Structures are given as C-alpha cells and as structure tokens.
C-alpha cells in the first residue's frame, strides 16, 4: 500500500485525486491551508478510505513554510503537487503572493521530496505558459510565452522540476493542464473557472457573462482525465522523467458553443452577456497530446459533452 501526499488536496482537482487514490486501496495525506480548498470537498474521504482499505489524514499547513513541507512529505511514496493560487486574475492583482505560493512553495516541496527520497513528484502545471502563439495545436516543444504572472510562475515550477531531476535525480513529471472542469469546482468566486460559472448562472435563470466575443476557444478537459494522467505519471518509465506533458482532450470549442451545449442540457434558450476581455486571458487553446500518449500512456476517456453532462447533473 503506497502513501500519496496530495498538496492542495481539498481543492477541486486535489480532492478528485484523493478519491481515486483511496478507491484504488492506497493511502492519502492531504496538505492544504484551506485558503482556496474547501473542507466539504473531503467530507466523504473517511468513507472512501474505509471502502478502499487505505488510510486518510489531513495536514493543515502552508506550502510557503519549508518545515511544513518536510513534515508532510516524510514517509510519502508519491507527491502529487496541486497546491497553488490557480488564477490568472489573482496573479495580476497580487503577483507577490501568488509567486510565493506557486514558485517558492513548489521549491519547498521539491526540496522536501528530494530529501525524503520519494518515488515520484508529479506537479500541476498549466497550458497558460504557451501564451498567445497563434500556432495550434500547442506542442511541448514550442517556446513558452507567458502573458501573466501565473503563467510565468507555472513555467518556473516546471523548470525547477526539470532541474531537480537533472541535478539531483528527483523523479519529476510536470502536467500542463488545459481548462480542467468537473465536480467540486467552485462556482462562487469572481475568479472561478468558466464551466461552473456558466452552469450556475444558467441554473439560476441568469445570463452567463463572457469576457470577449465568445469565439475564443478552449480545450476543455474533464477532471477524471487529469486524475488519470497523474496516476499514470506515477507509473511511467524512466524516459518520462524530467519532462512536461499536455493534459487535454485534443479538441476545442468556443465559449459561445459551450453556452449552447449547456442551454441544451437546461432545455432553455440562453443569451450570454458580453463584457470586455480580461488581461492575461488567452484567445485560443488546443493541445497536442501525442507526447503524453507515448510516454505516460495518457488517453482521455471522458469527452467534453459527457463531462458537461456529468457536471450539470452534479451541480
């Protein structure tokens, strides 16, 4: 039975990871300061642990504190690093704080993982680091062009992962998430991702707000696909280490089309409200997932339509 440390485990992706790991019969230790993660996301975790036969514990703490990171990593076989301030807008409003969490926090965890001798360190990165290149699809060999502090911070985290592998042989993998959505994604914040905001607005009979003309496109990725990529990264061979991978479906839709799909699920006509584009937002996003398929065995199992249906039913 393996022990997985899931940083940010009370968050959206982290809690879905914890559930899947416990269902597999392994044990989970969550490290979270609950600044953006929600305790209710882990309310069922003791039940998941009993059903799978593993153990579950929560360490409440901040990854900006090196001692906290060392204590949480002790005894862990795998580190799945999801903790972050995950918002382009927040990084623009407060770049110092987001840098301290997203860069210094990642460095603290890598140092702890190196000293603990973990079997794998899998770090959540972001497609935002590709920036505004008009070339589609996005391929890992493209030069990064960050246009927000958040994107730069994720690039720095990836670079630290690569360096820790090359300099100290820490077995790292970085996963570049493309617009992950699914159950437990918070709809209530002004910083919330587009899918839960749109679903919530439409269910309330309100007009969803689109920043821009709505023709911007995204490669939406259901959360179970991201979970699968993390677990496959833990088992991938030596050739996969020290590398970064796109995690997506390899298919894009516009925000206007997203509203149409959700309106169909609601059975009503929906007219979005359009507002000025936000700084730091990327116009188009589409992933090439060849590298992830070849080196970590990743294949998305849940498409956009099925994922949106699941979210609609869950929220």
Contact 288, 137 (CB under 8 A): yes
CA angle 204, 206, 209 (to 5 degrees): 125
How many beta carbons lie within 10 A of that of residue 188, not counting itself? 10
Strands 217-218 and 253-254: antiparallel
CA angle 244, 247, 253 (to 5 degrees): 135
Tell me the HSE value of 242 on the side-chain side, using a 13 A CA sphere: 11
Q: What are phi and psi of 275, to 5 degrees?
A: -130, 170
User: What is d(CA 125, CA 292) in angstroms, rounded to the nearest whole number?
Assistant: 14
User: What is d(CA 17, CA 22) in angstroms, rounded to the nearest whole number?
Assistant: 9
8-state DSSP, 239? G
User: What is d(CA 313, CA 242) in angstroms, rounded to the nearest whole number?
Assistant: 38
Strand partners, 58: 30
Structure tokens at 99: 């840098």
**Catalytic residue chosen out of the listed positions 78, 130, 150, 177:** 150
Contact 284, 135 (CB under 8 A): no
Q: Hey, what's the torsion of the CAs at 93, 96, 97, 98, to 10 degrees?
A: 70
Burial of residue 29 (CB within 10 Å: 0-12, 13-18, 19+) is buried
Contact 85, 97 (CB under 8 A): yes
Active site residue 160: no
Distances (CA, A) of 53 to 41, 45, 46, 57, 173: 20, 12, 10, 14, 28
Which residues are designated catalytic? Answer: 150
């Amino acid at each position: 039975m393996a022990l997985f440390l899931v940083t940010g485990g009370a968050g959206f992706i982290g809690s879905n990871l914890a559930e899947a790991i416990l269902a597999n019969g392994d044990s989970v230790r969550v490290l979270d300061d609950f600044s953006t993660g929600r305790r209710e996301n882990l309310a069922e975790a003791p039940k998941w642990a009993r059903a799978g036969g593993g153990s579950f514990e929560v360490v409440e703490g901040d990854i900006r504190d090196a001692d906290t990171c060392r204590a949480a990593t002790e005894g862990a076989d795998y580190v799945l690093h999801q903790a972050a301030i995950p918002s382009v807008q927040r990084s623009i409003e407060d770049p110092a704080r987001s840098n301290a969490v997203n860069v210094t926090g990642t460095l603290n965890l890598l140092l702890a993982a190196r000293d603990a001798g973990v079997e794998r360190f899998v770090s959540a990165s972001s497609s935002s680091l590709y920036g505004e290149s008009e070339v589609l699809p996005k391929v890992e060999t493209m030069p990064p062009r960050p246009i927000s502090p958040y994107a730069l911070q994720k690039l720095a985290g990836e670079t630290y992962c690569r360096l820790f592998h090359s300099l100290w042989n820490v077995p790292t993998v970085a996963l570049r998430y493309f617009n992950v959505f699914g159950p437990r994604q918070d709809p209530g914040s002004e910083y919330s991702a587009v899918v839960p905001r749109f679903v919530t607005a439409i269910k309330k009979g309100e007009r969803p707000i689109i920043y821009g003309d709505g023709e911007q496109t995204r490669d939406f990725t259901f959360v179970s696909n991201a979970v699968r990529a993390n677990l496959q990264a833990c088992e991938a061979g030596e050739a996969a280490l020290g590398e970064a991978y796109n995690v997506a479906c390899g298919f894009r839709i516009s925000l206007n089309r997203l509203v149409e799909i959700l309106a169909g699920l609601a059975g009503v006509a929906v007219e979005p409200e359009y507002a000025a584009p936000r700084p730091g937002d990327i116009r188009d996003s589409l992933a090439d997932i060849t590298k992830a398929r070849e080196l970590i065995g990743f294949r998305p199992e849940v498409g956009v339509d099925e994922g949106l249906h699941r979210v609609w039913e869950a929220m």
